[in-house]
Structure 1
Amino acid sequence: MSTESTDPVEPPDTVATASEETEVPASEETETDESPKQNKWLKPVIVAVLAVILVGGGVYALTALNGTKVGDCVSASPKDVDKPDGEWNLSSKSCGDTAATHRVAAVLKSAEDPCPAEGIYEAVNAGGDIMCLMPNLAEGNCYTSGDDGAFKKENCTTESPVKIVKKVDGLPEEGTVCPEGSSELRFSEPASVYCMGVHEGS
């Protein structure tokens, strides 16, 4: 005769998994080529601009998203320039607008995902979506870096501007596309290279 128990088996208690806090992705460091020896005068200018832009990298909260998507341009700046890791203002702009400081390069699925590896990106929390913003640059324009770390379009007669002397789509071999006397600023998404020089009249 079977001795197997016929007592009902209670199902195991369901364990609720607590939501884990996601860590803020660290800012991506810019990979830059060493300037040729004859271009040493240019390097301090480029380095100074990039250093300011990279200060305070992280995930920021923004307002006024207005349905911004990949490829769109925005005006983005911290509400308090002394607190770049705090809340930011964001508004959609035409990419040709001088107020358009950034372009949306990518939208991440999770805050744990990093922005593209190569380039200068700001990871921002825009209404729950994590967006990677890149500087809105255009060939032939001159820029300076503001207190908020963004490239700002200026007249090329402005003191010590950085000029985008050439823009190339794709990511060709390093050191093969920019004119002598300029430095490469490379972005992996969207794949592009900006050749940064100093305006001849500055």
Structure 2
Amino acid sequence: MSNPVDQEQSQAEPKRRKSLPIWVIALVAALVLAGVGFGAYQVFFADDTAAPGECASVSGTDDAAKLTIVDCAEKSATFKVALKKDKAETSCPEGAYRELRDEKNLICLMPNFVAGTCYESDEANQAFKVGSCESPEAIKITKVINGTTDPSGCPNSNGLGYPEPKTVFCIETPGVS
């Protein structure tokens, strides 16, 4: 049987809450600060523009052109990012690159041509879009040769070369007799 005095003392004394150890508080504070720092970096310093090798679609023209990264297998993936340079650079390498500028970068785009596919001009976006091989304006990509700018590997040496990355697109015009 318990002592009534002990019961009164235990009821009168409130239970003390244990405080968190200082190391737990420090760890939580460090994680919060790291999260805030990472968020600030992403907003102010991260370069979220396209990276070389990524595929893209472009909408709009001239200074209003907008680059959107898309999966390379999508029909809308008419361009591939060839190079990304500092905005201070004057131009892309010699070749038929489409140049876009943003606040930080000069982005050099090349066609995302696929061998065996026909394309038609998309004047509004200074690009080619997948089209019918029956069209008189169509071009057909017969072969893509990576690692060179020499079109001699194409039938009749009919190729379009890009120096960076070194790529040749072998072209024929199926709609022209």
Structure whose alpha-carbon radius of gyration is higher? 2
The aligned residue for residue 102 of structure 2 is: 126
Contiguous gaps of at least 5 residues in structure 1: 1-64, 79-83
Describe how 1:12-31 pairs up with structure 2 within 5 A: none
Contiguous gaps of at least 5 residues in structure 2: 1-46
| Residue 126 to residue 86, structure 1, CA distance change in 2 (3 Å) | closer
Aligned residue among 73, 98, 123 for 1:96: 73
TM (norm. structure 1) is 0.57
Between the aligned residues of both structures, percent identity stands at 33
Describe how 1:3-14 pairs up with structure 2 within 5 A: none
Q: Which amino acid aligns with 2:82?
A: A
Structure number with higher relative contact order (C-alpha < 8 Å, ≥ 6 residues apart): 1
Aligned counterparts of 1:127 and 1:95: Cα–Cα separation in 2: 25
Does structure 2 conserve the Cα–Cα contact (< 8 Å) formed by 1:66 and 1:91?
no
Moved over 3 A (4+): 157-160
For the residue of structure 2 that corresponds to 1:114, the secondary structure is coil
Structure 1 residue 188 corresponds to structure 2 residue 177: no
Aligned counterparts of 2:67 and 2:91: Cα–Cα separation in 1: 21
Aligned counterparts of 1:194 and 1:173: Cα–Cα separation in 2: 10
Describe how 1:127-166 pairs up with structure 2 within 5 A: 127-148=103-124, 149-166=126-143
| Residue 110 to residue 129, structure 1, CA distance change in 2 (3 Å) | closer
Q: Which amino acid aligns with 2:96?
A: I
Give, in angstroms, the shift of residue 171 of structure 1: 1.7
Aligned counterparts of 1:116 and 1:201: Cα–Cα separation in 2: 31
For the residue of structure 2 that corresponds to 1:86, the secondary structure is helix
Does structure 2 conserve the Cα–Cα contact (< 8 Å) formed by 1:66 and 1:92?
no
Q: Which amino acid aligns with 2:79?
A: H
Give, in angstroms, the shift of residue 178 of structure 1: 0.8
The aligned residue for residue 168 of structure 1 is: 145
Give, in angstroms, the shift of residue 198 of structure 1: 1.3
Aligned pairs, number: 130
Aligned residue among 84, 92, 95 for 1:107: 84
Superposition RMSD on alpha carbons, in Å?
2.3
The aligned residue for residue 28 of structure 2 is: none
